[in-house]
C-alpha cells in the first residue's frame, strides 16, 4: 500500500488499484461516493493522454456494509525500482530520461487544448489569486501562522507580480497557456526501456491544470531540486525550453519553481496533519526553496558606472554573464543611434561630436527606454554607462520603481595611474575616450553616495565577487542560474 494526502494505492500482482480518500481539503471535496467516482473517471481519461497503456480503466470494490460500491482506478503496475525519484536518490545518470520527459511534455503542450477559458488561468491576476489562496491555506493549516521565511515569500511574490502584467499578457499571446499535467513529480515518472511513463496528472480541478507550459515543467524541476539534484532540475528546464522554443525570461522560470515549491509545502502541511512522518520538516525545506528562487527571480536594474579606464565595461559584461541577464551598453547604443558600427572610431574632444550634451541625453533616454521594456517583461538588466550625471541616475531610479524592479548602483574605481595605463594601451573598441577626455570627465563627476564602490584594480574575478555581493547579498549559490538555450531568431 502507498498513501498520499488524497488517495490510497493498493498493489496486487501486476495491478495497482487507486482509491480516493473521503476527504474535504477545501480545494477538493471527495466526501461523497459520486464525487470520488467522477474523480476516478477523470483521472483515467486525463492520464491516458500521457500513459495510455498504464491506465486500464475503472473498477469497483464491494463490501457488505457499504451503501454503494467504492470506485477505483485500475492501472498496470509500474516497477518501483524504475521510479525517477529512486534513480535520482541512488545517484543514477538520468539526463537521457529527463531529455525524453522534456520532449514528451513539450510535445503534449504543443497539441494541448487552448482557448479563452484556458487563457484566463494564465493571466497575472489568476496566478496572483492562486498564490494568495495558498498563503491563506498555509495560515489555516499552521494555526494562523506562517512558516519561517513565508512572510518574505509573500512580499517578493507581490513585488514581482505587481508590474509584470505585460509579461503574462505576452505569454497568452504566444499561446503558452495549455491544458497540461499539473502535478509533474518524479515519484510518478517511471523510466522504462521503451521510454518514460508519466502518471498521475491533476484531475480534481481543470482550472488548476490550465497553466503556462513552463509552470508545468517547473513542477518537476522543483521536485528534482528538492531531491538534492539542482543540476538535473536546471538541465530538465533547459531541455524543455529547447523543445518548446520558449523564450521566457529566467526570472519567470524561478518564479514558477518557487510557486510549485510553495504549493508542495502546503501539501506537506496537509500530510503533517494526517500524521505523515517528516512532512513538517519537508514543508519548511520547501518554503526555504521557494524563498531562494523568489530572491533570484527578483527583477533588478544594475547600473555599472565609472570613468573611462575604470573597468566598468569589462565588469558589466562579466557580471551579466555570471547572472545570465541582459547587458546594455551606452557606448554601443550611442553609435547605433548614429548609424555607425560599434567598433568604428568616433573620437572627439570632451563634449563634442557624438558626445555633445544633446546626444548624450538621447543615448541615456534610449538606454532607459530599452531597459524599461525589458524590466516589464521580467528581464533583469545590467546598464554599462558612465552615470556621471545626477539627472541620469535619478531617471534610472524612476524607471526601476515604475517597473517594480530593484536597483543596484555600482561605481568602479581605480587609481589614476591604473586607468591611464588602461586607456593608453587598450585596443580600439566601442569606447572612444582618451586621456584628455577622461581627465575632463573626472573633474566634473559629482559624488555618487548611493552607489557601492567596486575596486577594479585587481583581478576581474575579484571585482565580480564584489559586484555579486552587492546585487545578491543573500548569496549566489542558493538557486541555479537558469539559462535559455540558444535559438536562432525568426
Domain match, 83 and 205 both: yes
Burial of 242 (0-12, 13-18, 19+ CB in 10 A): middle
122: in domain: yes
Which candidate, 410, 427, 228, 227, places its Cα nearest to that of 323?
410
- Grid cell digits, residue 355: 558626445
Domain holding 213, by residue range, is 79-297
Please say whether the beta carbons of 21 and 7 come within 8 A: yes
Angle at 278 between CA 78 and CA 262, to 5 degrees: 85
Please say whether the beta carbons of 471 and 319 come within 8 A: yes
Domain match, 183 and 136 both: yes
Domain match, 194 and 318 both: no
State the distance between the two ends of the chain, measured CA to CA, in whole angstroms. 52
Domain match, 67 and 191 both: no
Indicate the residue among 53, 73, 93 that finishes a domain.
Answer: 73
231: in domain: yes
104: in domain: yes
Domain match, 286 and 324 both: no
| Alpha-carbon Rg for the chain in angstroms | 27
Where on the phi/psi map is residue 175: left (φ > 0), alpha (ψ -120 to 50), or beta? Answer: left
Domain match, 362 and 338 both: yes
- Paired with 198 in beta bridges are 189
Taking the C-alpha atoms of residue 239 and residue 333, their distance in angstroms, rounded to an integer, is 33
What pLDDT is recorded for position 487?
Answer: 54
For 456, how many CA atoms within 13 A lie in the half-sphere containing its CB?
Answer: 30
183: in domain: yes
For residue 394, the domain's CATH number is 3.40.50.300
Which candidate, 394, 370, 369, 381, places its Cα nearest to that of 446?
394
For 9, how many CA atoms within 13 A lie in the half-sphere containing its CB?
Answer: 16
- Grid cell digits, residue 285: 525545506
Q: Which residues of 336-373 are buried (b: 16+ CB within 10 A; e: fewer)?
A: eeeeeeeeeeeeeebeeebbeeebbeebbebbbeebbe
Domain match, 304 and 282 both: no
Domain match, 59 and 98 both: no
User: Quick one: three-class SS letters along 5-20?
Assistant: CCEEEEEECCEEEEEE
Angstrom distances, CA of residue 371 to CA of 170, 363, 397: 17, 12, 12
Extended beta strands in 373-465, E state: 381-384, 406-413, 452-455
284: in domain: yes
For residue 293, the domain's CATH number is 3.90.1200
89: in domain: yes
Domain match, 88 and 19 both: no
Domain match, 371 and 446 both: yes
Taking the C-alpha atoms of residue 73 and residue 43, their distance in angstroms, rounded to an integer, is 8
Domain match, 66 and 143 both: no
210: in domain: yes
Average pLDDT across each block of 10 residues of the chain; the chain has 490 residues. List them in order.
91 96 89 94 96 97 92 97 97 96 97 95 96 90 74 94 95 97 96 96 91 97 96 95 94 96 91 87 93 94 92 94 92 88 71 80 95 95 94 96 95 86 73 74 84 94 94 72 62
Indicate the residue among 253, 269, 297 that finishes a domain.
Answer: 297
Taking the C-alpha atoms of residue 80 and residue 190, their distance in angstroms, rounded to an integer, is 8
Domain match, 263 and 220 both: yes
If one counts the domains in the chain, the total is 3
Indicate the residue among 280, 297, 314 that finishes a domain.
Answer: 297
476: in domain: no
Amino acid at each position: 500500500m502507498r498513501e498520499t494526502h488524497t488517495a490510497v494505492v493498493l498493489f496486487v500482482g501486476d495491478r495497482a488499484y487507486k482509491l480516493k480518500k473521503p476527504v474535504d481539503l477545501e480545494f477538493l471535496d471527495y466526501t461523497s461516493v459520486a464525487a470520488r467516482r467522477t474523480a476516478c473517471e477523470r483521472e483515467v481519461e486525463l492520464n491516458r493522454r500521457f500513459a495510455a497503456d498504464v491506465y486500464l480503466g475503472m473498477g469497483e470494490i464491494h463490501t457488505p456494509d457499504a451503501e454503494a460500491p467504492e470506485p477505483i482506478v485500475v492501472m498496470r503496475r509500474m516497477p518501483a525500482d524504475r521510479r525517477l525519484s529512486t534513480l535520482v536518490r541512488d545517484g543514477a545518470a538520468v539526463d537521457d530520461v529527463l531529455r525524453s520527459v522534456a520532449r514528451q511534455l513539450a510535445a503534449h503542450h504543443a497539441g494541448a487544448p487552448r482557448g479563452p477559458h484556458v487563457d484566463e488561468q494564465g493571466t497575472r491576476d489568476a496566478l496572483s489569486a492562486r498564490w494568495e489562496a495558498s498563503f491563506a491555506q498555509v495560515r489555516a493549516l499552521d494555526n494562523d501562522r506562517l512558516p519561517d521565511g513565508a512572510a518574505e515569500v509573500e512580499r517578493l511574490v507581490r513585488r514581482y507580480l505587481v508590474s509584470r502584467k505585460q509579461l503574462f499578457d505576452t505569454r497568452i499571446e504566444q499561446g503558452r497557456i495549455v491544458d497540461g499535467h499539473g502535478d509533474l513529480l518524479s515519484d510518478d515518472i517511471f523510466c522504462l526501456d521503451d521510454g518514460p511513463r508519466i502518471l498521475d496528472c491533476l484531475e480534481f480541478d481543470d482550472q488548476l491544470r490550465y497553466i503556462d507550459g513552463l509552470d508545468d515543467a517547473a513542477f518537476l524541476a522543483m521536485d528534482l531540486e528538492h531531491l538534492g539534484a539542482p543540476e538535473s532540475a536546471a538541465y530538465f528546464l533547459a531541455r524543455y525550453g529547447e523543445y518548446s522554443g520558449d523564450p521566457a525570461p529566467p526570472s519567470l522560470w524561478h518564479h514558477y519553481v518557487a510557486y510549485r515549491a510553495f504549493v508542495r509545502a502546503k501539501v506537506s502541511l496537509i500530510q503533517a496533519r494526517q500524521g505523515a512522518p517528516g512532512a513538517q520538516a519537508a514543508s519548511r525545506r520547501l518554503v526555504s526553496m521557494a524563498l531562494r528562487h523568489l530572491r533570484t527571480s527578483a527583477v533588478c536594474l544594475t547600473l555599472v558606472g565609472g570613468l573611462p579606464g575604470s573597468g566598468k565595461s569589462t565588469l558589466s559584461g562579466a557580471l551579466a554573464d555570471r547572472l545570465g541577464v541582459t547587458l546594455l551598453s551606452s557606448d554601443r547604443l550611442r553609435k547605433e543611434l548614429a548609424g555607425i558600427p560599434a567598433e568604428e572610431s568616433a573620437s572627439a574632444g570632451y563634449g563634442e561630436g557624438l558626445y555633445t550634451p544633446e546626444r548624450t541625453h538621447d543615448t541615456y533616454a534610449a538606454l532607459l527606454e530599452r531597459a524599461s521594456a525589458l524590466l516589464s517583461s521580467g528581464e533583469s538588466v545590467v546598464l554599462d554607462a558612465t552615470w556621471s550625471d545626477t539627472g541620469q541616475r535619478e531617471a534610472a531610479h524612476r524607471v526601476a520603481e515604475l517597473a517594480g524592479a530593484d536597483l543596484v548602483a555600482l561605481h568602479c574605481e581605480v587609481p589614476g595611474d591604473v586607468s591611464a595605463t588602461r586607456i593608453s594601451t587598450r585596443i580600439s573598441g566601442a569606447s572612444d575616450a582618451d586621456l584628455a577626455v577622461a581627465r575632463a570627465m573626472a573633474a566634473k563627476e559629482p559624488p555618487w553616495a548611493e552607489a557601492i564602490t567596486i575596486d577594479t584594480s585587481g583581478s576581474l574575478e575579484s571585482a565580480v565577487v564584489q559586484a555579486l555581493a552587492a546585487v545578491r547579498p543573500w548569496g549566489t549559490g542558493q538557486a541555479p542560474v537558469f539559462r535559455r538555450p540558444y535559438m536562432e531568431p525568426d
